[in-house]
Structure 1
Amino acid sequence: MRTPLVVIGALLLPVALTLSAVAAVLLTGHGNCPRLSRPSLPGTRILAMSAVAHPDGMGARASRPGRPVASGVPAFCDVTIILTHPPLRDRVRIQVWLPQSTWNGRFQATGGGAFAAGEFERALVPAVRRGYAAASTDAGVPSTAKSPPVWAQRHDRPINDGLLANFAYRSVHEMSRIGKQVIAGFYGRPPAYSYFTGCSTGGRQGLTEAQRYPGDFDGILADAPAIAWNRLTLAQFWPQVVMNEAGTYPTACEFAAFNRAAIAACDTDDGRLDGIIGRPDTCRFDPGRLVGTSVRCHGRTIRISRVDADIVGRIWDGPTTRTGERQWYGLPRGASFSWLAGTTKPLFGPRHGAPFPVAADWIRYFLLRQPHLDVSTIGYAEFERLFEESQARYGAVIGSDDPDLSAFRAAGGKMITWHGLADPAVFPQGTVDYRRRVESAMGGGEATDRFYRVFLAPGVGHCSGGAGPVPTDPHAALVDWVEHDRAPDTLPAATTGAHPHLSGVLCRYPQQATAGRPCH
């Protein structure tokens, strides 16, 4: 899977240089960073490159007002590359952090979240702490996880297909290629092993790498993957559609009452009384059981109505066509409603929906191409049309759910996915569905387990949090599998909140732990 790399270097691009002179220019590092020559990548042009030494790790950066101190970070060089894809005129930023004396010989590329392709410092700090040369990219769509994808539209046509390709699949691959070249130039040798780690959007990016570029990484940690993005984003909007149609927007307190009742009813389905739903797929709690009961919310007593119960039931069931055909999965019982079924009460006027920004922006920017649209008008009929359009138009670009991983397997790659069963944003049943389809395509469960394993985490939210135990170091399990051929049957996990007694292990899918019995 690892191929010899040509040590090519880096480029500092002065404004006055002509393109013919650029090729001869070398980058001179600042501080203790060595001089590098510019990297090379077909289909791209390097616009700029810089290297900044941080001899005290994050000390100088962390001293700025408002920046938390990142302790334990060794001295490193921060190499930043700006590239473009002519004639797209995009500006893709790739950052590579290189430990100066603590490198463990490995490369770790990192993923993003929501519409952000990379998380940079947040992801790079822990990687460099562990001795990795690490990289992140913004895919040319500089945004945070919460900012809208204003890059989606361009002046001469509705969708900027080039930037969408960057975000969907191209830029992580290019980060892997350039990152390895920079590492080889800096240390005088390529990395012995290369890894990718990410959750949510990062999980989707990891799956995409295994599907499209199977030789990029020896190991991939693809957690809570935003799989089938073209369907998932619409399913994330489904709770708002249900409330729009009903004309009723329950409070978070009312939604929480349904979750408490579901947990009380299904807690012991796995044989354990631990305050979480161990098997939400088998929980059949009927929200209609709460009709007529009262809940105390912010000093008021609210009576649960049939409409409230119907809304909750539809949200749990997930989106369907008007004829009852399932389109995607719904919110797991026990998962918080606040992400996708958010509501708000203005100072003046009635309560209304507060949709999940990623879902609303996918509709506004990529489907309806109306950035300022009031999505509260979308009901069942329009939702069904939008769902079909999203599938047809974007499935091949950002679906990220091709089950044929034969090339990744042939390259010797290993992949681990873990997913919280109380995830309020990316439905875990989508991960289970993908794993089952991979089994069908790759010769069954046993054959798939040789290179791809899934672990489900009861009671855990999106990438972390919740009442259940969270994996403590899944990356270490991946490294052990890749480098020592020790495939993990369990992942050590622990809680840090109110349920420390739940610490233990997560079972390899499809195994489950029940009272008095380990994974079986």
Structure 2
Amino acid sequence: MKRQILALATVGVTVAGAAAIYALVDRSNDSAAAPSNANAFNCSTFQIPAPTGATVESLTATAVPAGTFQVPGTPPLGGYPVPDVPAHCEVTVTVTHPGANDHAKVQVWLPESGWNGRFQAVGGAAYAAGNIGSVAAAVKQGYAVGTTDAGVDTSGLNSSWALNPDGRINTALLENFSSRSVHELAVVGKQVVNDVYGHAASYAYWNGCSTGGRQGYMEAQKYPTDFNGINADAPAINWNQFEVATLWPQVVMNQAHTYPTTCEFNAFNQAAVKACDPQDGVADGLISDPSHCNFDPRSLIGTKVACDGKEYTISEAVTEVVRKIWDGPRDGNGRRLWYGLPIGADFSNLTASTTGPDGVTVGAPFPVPAQWVANFVEKQPAFDTASLTYAQFDQIFHQARSEFDSAIGTADPNLSAFRDAGGKIITWQGDADQLIPTAGTVDYRNRVDAQLGGTAEVDDFYRVFLAPGVAHCALTGSNDMTALTAWVEHGQAPDVLRADLTNATGQTVSRDICRLPFVSHYNGDGDPASPASFRCVAPTP
């Protein structure tokens, strides 16, 4: 299984196909400055100071021989093997906070030999704060690597910890999941590295996608000196806006009493790709700039589509459902609340529905936003998010922001402290992200520009790369961590990221992913499967 564990973090898992749960790991094998006592290795129980405001409940250290690691749990976050894991020391530190009755576990794996001198912390997915499978994969790359469970369920799709027995929010666990445990992972992880190897890591990095991406941004915003470099991809920032907004397709279908089939939804995406693909100079099955794709879904009214032995005629009602989903949520006065599903992104996660024996079709909301609204906003685990009206949606959207933005919003654009500490951030996101609107990440970057002096100034420490045709946390073959370490350690800021893309015909092509605000454009000749045939240009106004 490729070390791409997709980040369920807003779970790129189609519940049917388990599509996305990610905490990416470095492909780089180059070492940081090798310390003089690099051969020191002490895998035995020791004492470490507790993070501020916490108590260390327990610490264990176990020497583990080389072999295959079977990740515990069930797919997609667990239930698969990681072969060829080197001999390493596994240190587990459990911390608690006075009065919280929480037990947050930090796990750090440290290679017995071949350590590259760096500490990497990896993030989680959906409602899981970390992922031990990503730890096993990263230690193979020579890192001392750690993760945390934040004291909550590790399956990723269980947020039952949200409420205390009295029905109130468990604020301690929410704080752990939102920010505190990742900071404590950084503090504890660095101390463990120092005690096992006898000296500190030369550099500390964060690496995560989706929830893991949000965790990276929270670190930059709230604990700006924890990491030298942060790789935070498809980030679940603007948490309350995008979480509630991903229920919008269900609201639209419910209010229209119209539940289009998968075939009908796919027809709109296929038509949009056909219409907007050539805008980058070549018809290669990829839309390089979906934000400038002005495909009108009404052009498909009356079109017939066939699948599974049935023929469907695109109706005006189906077209209006698609138009509203692409447009995104608006309030009763027509004002935009957040962004919609990107054109070209798969509809299936957010528009799932079921038809009963009586022939009645009802929505099947994606579990991550459904649980956020039911468990946290409404504080009623049985709350029905499949039957929301527009008015209810508007009320829930604003309530979520009012109640939880300060805890988990992760939307503060003031990254000046992280910049001043010398930190660097790389973010990539797929232009066809079906779970977290790409426009929300662009919106955040634009707000950072406005806060800190403009694009050129912010590019000195923070760069965003948008990948054509890529779904949530699904970029493969990326040199993101290699690029980040080169930037942090050698001052080589990346203008592009190299990655593999899959076009509409299923062909894999290598491409240079342009940094925002530039987009990829065909040179006019050459093989469209070669990155040399494209250049990064300013987008069409």
Contact map agreement 2:502 2:508 (CA 8 A) in 1? no
> 2:324 is matched with which residue?
314
CA distance in 1, matches of 2:91, 2:172: 25
> 2:136 is matched with which residue?
125
> 1:425 is matched with which residue?
435
> 1:82 is matched with which residue?
94
CA distance in 2, matches of 1:181, 1:463: 31
TM-score, with normalisation over the residues of structure 2? 0.86
> 2:406 is matched with which residue?
396
CA distance in 2, matches of 1:404, 1:338: 35
CA distance in 2, matches of 1:228, 1:267: 29
Contact map agreement 1:353 1:376 (CA 8 A) in 2? yes
Deviations 1:220-269 (A, max 9, x none): 00100011101110110000000110111112121111111111111112
CA distance in 1, matches of 2:309, 2:112: 58
Deviations 1:461-500 (A, max 9, x none): 00116xxxx4522011000100111000111111368555
3-state SS of 2:535 partner: coil
> 2:536 is matched with which residue?
519
Letter in 2 for 1:495: L
Contact map agreement 2:44 2:62 (CA 8 A) in 1? no
> 1:502 is matched with which residue?
509
Contact map agreement 1:251 1:343 (CA 8 A) in 2? no
3-state SS of 2:520 partner: coil
Letter in 2 for 1:124: V
Task: Call closer, same or farther: CA 1:323–1:347 in 2, change over 3 Å.
Answer: same
- Unmatched 5+ stretches in structure 2: 1-40, 73-77, 524-533
- Aligned positions of 1:141-220 closer than 5 A: 141-145=152-156, 147-156=157-166, 158-220=168-230
Deviations 1:424-479 (A, max 9, x none): 001110111111111111111111011001101010000116xxxx4522011000
- Aligned positions of 1:96-495 closer than 5 A: 96-120=108-132, 122-145=133-156, 147-156=157-166, 158-464=168-474, 470=476, 472-495=478-501
CA distance in 1, matches of 2:331, 2:240: 16
Task: Call closer, same or farther: CA 1:473–1:348 in 2, change over 3 Å.
Answer: farther
CA distance in 2, matches of 1:506, 1:451: 18
Contact map agreement 1:39 1:182 (CA 8 A) in 2? no
CA distance in 2, matches of 1:432, 1:59: 38
3-state SS of 2:337 partner: coil
- Unmatched 5+ stretches in structure 1: 1-30
1:54 paired to 2:61: no
CA distance in 1, matches of 2:170, 2:401: 18
Letter in 2 for 1:484: H
Letter in 2 for 1:80: T
3-state SS of 2:386 partner: helix
Contact map agreement 2:207 2:213 (CA 8 A) in 1? yes
Task: Call closer, same or farther: CA 1:67–1:265 in 2, change over 3 Å.
Answer: closer
Task: Call closer, same or farther: CA 1:67–1:240 in 2, change over 3 Å.
Answer: closer
Among residues 98, 105, 109, which one is paired with 1:93 in the alignment?
A: 105
Deviations 1:357-394 (A, max 9, x none): 11111110111111112222211010000011011111
CA distance in 2, matches of 1:150, 1:101: 41
Measured after TM superposition, the shift of residue 73 of structure 1 is 1.6
CA distance in 2, matches of 1:125, 1:53: 14
> 2:19 is matched with which residue?
none
CA distance in 2, matches of 1:501, 1:60: 30
Letter in 2 for 1:385: Q
Measured after TM superposition, the shift of residue 346 of structure 1 is 3.5
Contact map agreement 1:143 1:149 (CA 8 A) in 2? no
CA distance in 1, matches of 2:228, 2:354: 46
3-state SS of 1:374 partner: coil
Measured after TM superposition, the shift of residue 155 of structure 1 is 2.0
Measured after TM superposition, the shift of residue 273 of structure 1 is 0.8
Letter in 2 for 1:261: A
Contact map agreement 1:36 1:186 (CA 8 A) in 2? no
3-state SS of 1:433 partner: helix
Contact map agreement 2:469 2:501 (CA 8 A) in 1? no
CA distance in 1, matches of 2:477, 2:443: 21
CA distance in 1, matches of 2:513, 2:305: 35
**Percent identity at matched positions?**
48
Measured after TM superposition, the shift of residue 32 of structure 1 is 8.0
Contact map agreement 2:71 2:80 (CA 8 A) in 1? no
CA distance in 2, matches of 1:158, 1:452: 38
Root-mean-square deviation over aligned CA pairs:
1.8
Letter in 1 for 2:486: D
CA distance in 1, matches of 2:431, 2:311: 31
CA distance in 1, matches of 2:415, 2:219: 10
Measured after TM superposition, the shift of residue 69 of structure 1 is 3.6
* Paired positions, count: 481
Task: Call closer, same or farther: CA 1:32–1:440 in 2, change over 3 Å.
Answer: closer
Measured after TM superposition, the shift of residue 61 of structure 1 is 7.7
CA distance in 1, matches of 2:368, 2:70: 34
Contact map agreement 2:118 2:201 (CA 8 A) in 1? yes
Letter in 2 for 1:505: D
Measured after TM superposition, the shift of residue 349 of structure 1 is 3.5
Contact map agreement 1:471 1:506 (CA 8 A) in 2? no
3-state SS of 2:205 partner: strand
3-state SS of 1:70 partner: strand
Measured after TM superposition, the shift of residue 289 of structure 1 is 1.1
